Amino acid sequence: MKSVAVLTSGGDAPGMNAAIRSVVRCGITKGWSMYGVTNGFAGLIVDNIRPIGTRDVGGILQKGGTILGSARSEEFFTEDGQRKAIRNLRRMGIDALVVIGGNGSQTGNYELHKLGFPVTGIPSTIDNDICGTEMAIGVDTAMNIALEAIDRLKVTASSHQRAFLIEVMGRNCGYIALMSGIAGGAEFIVIPEIEISPEEVAESLQLAYEHGKAHAIIVVAEGAKYNADALIAYFQKHEERWGFKIRATILGHVQRGGAPGAFDRILASRFGNGAVEAIAREEYGVLVGLNNGAVTTTPLEAIIGKTKTISTEMVELARLLD
């Protein structure tokens, strides 16, 4: 019989609610008392911790965002803030905390662990830049929203001597750009992990036209050196040289919204169960993850501060299929 609290932290990702629901229901099945923390770590500090039951998490599986809210907390970045959070958790009789969030959130989680509070992490970020899992919650849905936009651009791009550029999210990680670019059949994909020059982009578009392609789509990760702003500026300056105009779409937060797809709901459900099982066997300070198709746990210390590398198989595939 345990008391377990769950919170969501950092940028929201489709599937966070499915993870909350799974943690709560799997915990209740074990006979535990479950608690929800409002507004992430900030909620720990102001003692916003309340019991949460089976029906409270009904009807949220299919919803984007997070019913628990998420907020940034300056205070939590200090040790004083962290200790205050732990005091509040202990006063409520909480035995363990589950943190659903990305890199920054798991770093905060790790701080609590180092201060001796039992924690588990569930990776959730559309950027897929967190180590210890092949896929984080939200990635698949965000990738499909980006892909839908690319598909639509392709339809309209087929008539004009024009290049279309679409900037997608991912911070310093090119995962969404690379994968949606492959899935969308982009002519060029610009990611932070691989340095390119704007001339290479331009030459590639020119080649596409020479090969009789009816459209030219460039997918750009927001974190790339040559992101949308930089490439638009380049093509404006060199319009005469290359002879085509760039029309841009900036998807922005549209990628975070929307209903999670089947993959994210199932992944979140598995991760929620995985976190509860880890707590049941009192395995703390770990991140639940998906590795080789199975739900695993990895010590937080092994993943904090690490950078996920981009798959060379996928980079190769992008080149092959262009």
By CB under 8 A, which span of 84-92, 93-101, 237-245, 263-271 interacts with a second copy? 263-271
For residues 19 and 202, which CB has a smaller minimum distance to a second copy in the complex? 19
For residues 70 and 82, which CB has a smaller minimum distance to a second copy in the complex? 70
Beta-bridge mates of residue 119: 97
- Name the active-site residue from 127, 129, 140, 264: 127
Q: How far is the CB of 1 from a second copy (least distance, A)?
A: 18
- As a whole number of angstroms, the distance between CA 197 and CA 148 comes to 27
Dihedral over alpha carbons 45, 51, 55, 56 (to 10 degrees): -20
Instruction: Write down the residue that tokens 């919803």 correspond to.
Output: 63
Residue 2 is labelled as binding a ligand: no
Footprint of a second copy on 78-137 (CB under 8 A): 134
Dihedral over alpha carbons 185, 15, 273, 113 (to 10 degrees): 100
**CB contact set of 58 (below 8 Å; sequence gap of 6+):** none
Q: How far is the CB of 267 from a second copy (least distance, A)?
A: 10
- As a whole number of angstroms, the distance between CA 239 and CA 235 comes to 5
Does 154 bind a second copy (CB under 8 A)? Our answer is: yes
Footprint of a second copy on 25-44 (CB under 8 A): 25-26, 29, 39
Q: How many CB atoms lie within 10 A of CB 47?
A: 15
By CB under 8 A, which span of 21-29, 97-105, 199-207, 218-226 interacts with a second copy? 21-29
Footprint of a second copy on 205-224 (CB under 8 A): 211-214
Determine whether 140 is an active site residue. Answer: no
By CB under 8 A, which span of 115-123, 192-200, 268-276, 280-288 interacts with a second copy? 268-276
Q: How far is the CB of 86 from a second copy (least distance, A)?
A: 24
CA angle, 263 then 267 then 272, to 5°: 150
Burial readout 63-94 (b: 16 or more C-beta within 10 A, e: otherwise)? bbbbbbbbeebeebeeeebbebbbebbeebeb
Interacting residue with a second copy among 2, 113, 171, 256 (CB under 8 A): 256
Does 157 bind a second copy (CB under 8 A)? Our answer is: yes
Q: Check: CB of residue 198 under 8 Å from CB of residue 230.
A: yes
For residues 113 and 256, which CB has a smaller minimum distance to a second copy in the complex? 256
Interacting residue with a second copy among 56, 84, 107, 183 (CB under 8 A): 183
**CB contact set of 209 (below 8 Å; sequence gap of 6+):** 161, 216, 244
Residue 265 is labelled as binding a ligand: no
Does 254 bind a second copy (CB under 8 A)? Our answer is: yes
By CB under 8 A, which span of 18-26, 79-87, 110-118, 235-243 interacts with a second copy? 18-26
DSSP H helical segments within the chain, as ranges?
16-29, 40-45, 79-91, 103-114, 139-157, 175-184, 198-210, 228-237, 239-242, 262-280, 312-321
Feature table: binding site:
11, 21-25, 72-73, 102-105, 125-127, 154, 162, 169-171, 185-187, 213-215, 222, 247, 253-256
Catalytic residue numbers read 127
